Amino acid sequence: MAKVTMIEAINCAHAWEMAHDPTVVVLGEDIGINGGVFRATAGLQEKFGVDRVQDTPLAEGMIAGMSIGMANQGLRPIAEIQFMGFIYPAMDQIANHMARMRHRTRGRITCPIVVRMPHGGGIHAPEHHSESLEAMLAHHPGLRVVCPSSPARAYGLLLASIREPDPVIFLEPVRLYRLVRQEVADDGQALPLDMCFRLREGSDVTLVTWGAMTFEVMRAAEQLQSDGVSCEVIDLATLSPIDHDTILESVAKTGRLVIVHEAPRNCGIGAEIAATVAEHGLYDLQAPIKRVTGYDTIMPLFRLEYDYIPSVARIMDAVRETLAD
């Protein structure tokens, strides 16, 4: 595969797995004829037919419920929720059935389902189209929550998610869909789930983030480097379960931690990371843990969108504060 955008990488991962695993089916709103509102599933119906690529009514609860039924009968559905704000009607099926089917049946029935959806803001979309609800999902036992931050990880982690025997919520940073291109080999190679990815090695401070915020964080790290501050950047990638070991080892090395996420601060995944480092890495910390997050308010409409999303300047300020302590 040539240099592709994230949306193309996601499309390729679908196509690869559908070609190699006849049980993989795709369903969602506008995903068939239209190819998905972001074109993630473009061309799949033409290639694999309407039986395997099904347009559904505007009924997220039904999409999730149908996926559970399909999965229980031996298929591997990939369901698309058009925007993250639309997941709420599906939460009953996801939380009460999808996440606990294995537990309920003592492992007899599993739900090999991927529920894909765009994540976060930054594309000037209207209300309900820019949410970052990963903490709500991560709070449910039985769900794996994954969020790639590059075309290569979108490809590799989506393949891994489809091959998982248990449900995966796959969050796609909408702002990154077409932001950059990356050389990705369309070779069916999955990347490991439940593992962080270290995007930058550093010694002064550990920056943990995921999804679209990796771009702001990487840029902040580059600018701080010219000030002589060496940042280690960790992309969480799998938001639940969290690869705490990698974070703790990095904090043991740097002694400082800044967590960056777009979602609101209150009860966010950043709080979970901070609590775990406080429990297991307290004696390595040389300064209080900092969080740079969205605000505890509704994601604003598009003119204020970038006042809400943590900026490079806010991240750099937090790093400087933690270094001053």
Partner 1 sequence: MTTFNLPDLGEGLAEAEIVRWHVSAGDIVKVDQPMVAVETAKAVVEVPSPYSGRIKALHGKPGDVVATGAPLVDFDVQAGGAGASPPATRVATPHKPAPQKAEPQAANDSGTVVGSMPTSDEELIETAVAGSDIASPRERVRAAPAVRALAKRLGVDLATLRGTGRGGLITVDDVMNTSGPTFAYGAATVTALKAAPASARSGPSSAPPSGEPEKLRGLRRAMAQSMSLARDNVMNCTLFDDADLHDWRKGEDFTIRLLRAIGVAAAAEPVLNAWYDGENQTRRPMARVDVAMAVDTPDGLLVPVVRDVGKRSIAELRADVDRLKRGARDRTVAPEDLRDFTFMLSNFGMIAGRYATPVVVPPAVAILGAGKLSHDVVAVMGGIEAHLRMPLSLTFDHRCVTGGEAARFLAALIRDLERGS
- How many chain residues touch partner 1 (CB under 8 A)? 59
Span interacting with partner 1, options 161-169, 175-183, 268-276, 290-298, rule CB under 8 A: 175-183
Smallest separation (angstroms) from partner 1 to the CB of 322: 13
163 binds partner 1 (CB under 8 A): no
For residue 128, how many C-alpha atoms fall within 13 Å in the half-sphere facing its CB?
Answer: 8
Sole binder of partner 1 in the list 16, 48, 170, 177 (CB under 8 A): 177
249 binds partner 1 (CB under 8 A): yes
Alpha helices in 227-281 (DSSP H): 244-254, 269-280
The CA-atom distances, in angstroms, between 227 and each of 221, 222, 231, 266, 319 are 10, 9, 11, 31, 12
Span interacting with partner 1, options 14-22, 88-96, 265-273, 283-291, rule CB under 8 A: 283-291
283 binds partner 1 (CB under 8 A): yes
Beta-carbon count within 10 A of 283 CB: 6
Segment 298 to 317, residues that bind partner 1, using CB under 8 A: 302-303, 306, 311-312
**Concatenated DSSP letters of 273-303:** HHHHHHHHSGGG-SS--EEEEE-SSPPP-GG
Annotation says 244 is catalytic: no
Segment 6 to 65, residues that bind partner 1, using CB under 8 A: 7, 30, 34, 37-39
**Concatenated DSSP letters of 67-115:** HHHHHHTT-EEEEE-SSGGG-HHHHHHIIIIITTHHHHTTTSS----EE
Smallest separation (angstroms) from partner 1 to the CB of 151: 7
Smallest separation (angstroms) from partner 1 to the CB of 146: 13
Smallest separation (angstroms) from partner 1 to the CB of 263: 18
80 binds partner 1 (CB under 8 A): no
Closest by CA position to 146, among listed 158, 136, 135, 130: 158
Q: Which residues, 6+ apart, have CB-to-CB distance to 159 below 8 Å?
A: 13, 16, 17, 188, 189, 190, 191
Nearer to partner 1, 76 or 261 (CB): 261
- Given a contact cutoff of 8 angstroms between Cβ atoms, the answer to whether 245 and 256 are in contact is no
Biggest CA pair distance of the chain = 60
Smallest separation (angstroms) from partner 1 to the CB of 208: 13
293 DSSP β-pair partners: 261
Sole binder of partner 1 in the list 1, 15, 62, 195 (CB under 8 A): 195
Sole binder of partner 1 in the list 11, 67, 82, 93 (CB under 8 A): 82
Residue 143's SS3 state is coil
Smallest separation (angstroms) from partner 1 to the CB of 250: 7
129, 139, 140, 261: which is the annotated catalytic residue?
129
Residues marked active site are found at 129
Residues engaged in binding partner 1 (CB under 8 A): 3, 5, 7, 30, 34, 37-39, 82, 122-126, 129, 150-153, 174-175, 177-183, 191-192, 195-199, 215-216, 218-219, 235, 243, 245-246, 249-250, 252-253, 255, 282-286, 288, 302-303, 306, 311-312
